[in-house]
Amino acid sequence: MAVVLFALFRLLEFLMLVIFTKGTCSNSGSQQALHVNITCEKYLDVYVDGETMLTGVQGVHSILIDSSSHVMAVKCKGAEGGWRGMIVGDGVLTDESWRCTKHKEAGWHMTTFDDRDWPSAVSYAINIGSVFPWGVKEGVSSEAQFIWTSDNRNDKEIYCRRTLYSPCIENGFKDKSLSNAILGIVSVTSATECGLKCGQMDSCVSFNIEYKTSSKLCELNGARAVTSSIDLVSRPGYQYYEIAKAGY
């Protein structure tokens, strides 16, 4: 009996991985080529894995990012005179999953650069029209957001990065949990059920679940630890799972 239950448990665990990492996680880079249309306030430089794709351009530009790419890095020069800065693009949608800073650091555009202490980009609007002062950027998806640093009046030249893959999580994380992003707690009987509950909630991106008891508390989280480098806390009896999403 115990053996059967154990086998069933492993199967559930495996299904969790299949369901939540299905074709979307990759340690080796983006899984497909990405067509990107992008523009910014004034002059734009775009790098992919340290290679220059565009430099000093104005207006909307299209680039093709090869599959297996790891990092897109963008420099934007804003206009002078208090005009608000923005970068907007699709393919790799501009949103708060980007990180932006006004500080130029050596190697900032390289794949191996560690941007974990850079702040998240701030989203100021969506590209759907009547957005003052930018209006609609034709040629860029209406889902794209106008992003910049937190100070889009004073930061005139900024550096942004976006990871193009989601690291795969091998076996979940045992005896660990994410403590400060809990949106709700439900009681479930399996990690799969907890994952489905999380999937039903738009803002849920990871969960902590008791793994020793038969009735399990399932904590639905609104943040990711691994992919945003938040520290997990030690918590015996709980396991952390992250729902993998495509990196773009």
Ligand X SMILES: *[C@@H]1O[C@H](CO)[C@@H](O)[C@H](O)[C@H]1NC(C)=O
Residue 139 binds ligand X, judged by CB under 6 A: yes
Residue 57 binds ligand X, judged by CB under 6 A: no
Judged by CB under 6 A, the stretch of 24-32, 138-146, 183-191, 205-213 that binds ligand X is 138-146
Residue 54 binds ligand X, judged by CB under 6 A: no
Residue 63 binds ligand X, judged by CB under 6 A: no
Interatomic CA distance for residues 19 and 247, integer angstroms: 16
Residue 69 binds ligand X, judged by CB under 6 A: no
What three-state secondary structure class fits 32? Answer: coil
Interface with ligand X (CB under 6 A), residue from 120, 141, 179, 192: 141
Identity of the residue, 141 or 228, whose beta carbon is nearer to ligand X in the bound complex: 141
Rounded alpha-carbon distances, angstroms, from residue 40 to 11, 64, 66, 181: 48, 18, 22, 32
Spatial contact of 69 and 36, defined as CB atoms under 8 Å apart: no
Identity of the residue, 10 or 35, whose beta carbon is nearer to ligand X in the bound complex: 35
Number of residues that make up the chain = 248
Residue 228 binds ligand X, judged by CB under 6 A: no
Spatial contact of 99 and 119, defined as CB atoms under 8 Å apart: yes
In whole angstroms, the minimum distance from the beta carbon of 142 to ligand X comes to 8
Spatial contact of 89 and 61, defined as CB atoms under 8 Å apart: no
In whole angstroms, the minimum distance from the beta carbon of 139 to ligand X comes to 4
Interface with ligand X (CB under 6 A), residue from 37, 97, 123, 127: 37
Question: Which long-range contacts (C-beta less than 8 Å, at least 24 apart) are formed by 137-141?
Answer: 137/39, 137/60, 137/88, 138/60, 139/37, 139/39, 139/60, 139/62, 140/37, 140/38, 140/39, 140/60, 140/88, 140/89, 140/90, 141/37, 141/90, 141/93
Identity of the residue, 139 or 167, whose beta carbon is nearer to ligand X in the bound complex: 139
Interface with ligand X (CB under 6 A), residue from 12, 42, 62, 245: 62
Q: Which residue is nearest to ligand X (CB)?
A: 37
Judged by CB under 6 A, the stretch of 43-51, 133-141, 223-231, 235-243 that binds ligand X is 133-141
Spatial contact of 8 and 233, defined as CB atoms under 8 Å apart: no
In whole angstroms, the minimum distance from the beta carbon of 144 to ligand X comes to 8
Spatial contact of 133 and 84, defined as CB atoms under 8 Å apart: yes
Residues 78-117 that bind ligand X (CB under 6 A): 90
Q: Given the rule CB under 6 A, which residues bind ligand X?
A: 37, 62, 90, 139-141
